[in-house]
Amino acid sequence: MYKIEGFIDRAIQTVIRKNILEGEQEVDYWERHWEQHILYYNKQQTPKEIEENWWKYLYDEMVMYYEHVLDGLEDKHICELGSGSGYASLLMGSKGAHVTLVDFSPKACEYAEIIHDYLLLDRERVNVILEDAFSKELNIGTYDVVWNCGVIEHYEWNQAVELIRVMMRHVDIGGKVMVTVPNLLSPELLYKMVIEGKGSEIFFSHRMLKKMMEEAGLQQVEIHPINYWVPSFLPAMWANKMRKINLCKYIKSMAWLFNGIGT
């Protein structure tokens, strides 16, 4: 059904060098990744996520987009399942959301606490949980919104669908499940993969994301690009100006991120 996407993924896996060390497991890769972020923060006293304005403007765009599709963030209870640093969720917390971050990496949780302190968020509105989303003992309650960004593309189709089902189990009735994935064919991702290599990411197109979410059992699934596509080797101000033109609404293949949302 997705022969074109399959061909693209095989090409990416063949051509792009891997950023995972020989014999390194997924959790080890992420421990190394977040340890680098902690070391960067300790040295620079600023999060690596916003070391450049390109990234700062991206997070501005993401949070503005989420605030729109979720009909506001004030007093929403939001869980990011597979949160990493939780940077975008914590920014939503700065806009009034109650935030729970869940990740299987101890270093990710340690770093999330650092970001929490950096953003001066109310401790009572943020909860960080060290737990594997696939754990049979996962007991994290339910929320208005369960979401993640840059997670499911690290799993094969069936596992990704199962992860979305896990997310669904922790959503209140009438709540939203939201999945954001990077577009590996966007100018920025092609640039980053060539320069830095890639991890275990699989290419999922926007139509694959919709099918995946519907297969998991979500209703009223909508997929939209997050309007940010100018690659980071160009001036950040270009990206900031171009996102206001809404170009990616019409050229989906250029968007750096796709977001799926369903009930």
Q: Among 48, 61, 36, which Cα is nearest to 115's? A: 48
Q: What is the pLDDT of residues 88-102, one digit of tens each?
A: 999 999 999 999 999
Residue 134 CA, chain-centre distance (Å), reads: 18
pLDDT at 248 over 80: no
Specify the pLDDT at position 21: 86
* CATH at residue 94: 3.40.50.150
DSSP letter at 125?
A: G
Cα dist from 50 to 25, 40, 105, 194, whole Å: 27, 11, 21, 21
CB 148 within 8 A of CB 83: yes
The domain of 209 spans 3-262
How many structural domains comprise the chain?
A: 1
Report the alpha-carbon distance of residue 234 to residue 192 in Å, rounded.
13
At 74, list the tokens: 């004030």
Q: pLDDT category, 222, cuts 50, 70, 90?
A: very high
Q: Among 80, 149, 89, which Cα is nearest to 116's? A: 89
pLDDT at 1 over 80: no
CB 160 within 8 A of CB 203: no
* Segment 7-18 mean pLDDT: 93
Q: What residues have CB less than 8 Å from 151, skipping those under 6 apart?
A: 81, 82, 163, 179
Length of the chain: 263
Specify the pLDDT at position 103: 97
Q: What residues have CB less than 8 Å from 6, skipping those under 6 apart?
A: none
pLDDT at 226 over 90: yes
Radius of gyration, CA atoms only, the chain: 17
Specify the pLDDT at position 221: 98
pLDDT more than 90, % of the chain: 88
At 77, list the tokens: 């209870």
Q: What residues have CB less than 8 Å from 113, skipping those under 6 apart?
A: 128
Specify the pLDDT at position 245: 85
CB 59 within 8 A of CB 88: yes
CB 216 within 8 A of CB 168: yes
Specify the pLDDT at position 214: 98
pLDDT at 67 over 80: yes
Residue 244 class from Cβ within 10 Å (0-12 exposed, 13-18 middle, 19+ buried)? exposed
DSSP letter for each residue of 179-235: EEEE-TTSHHHHHHHHHH-B-S-----HHHHHHHHHHHT-SS-EEEEES--S-TTS-
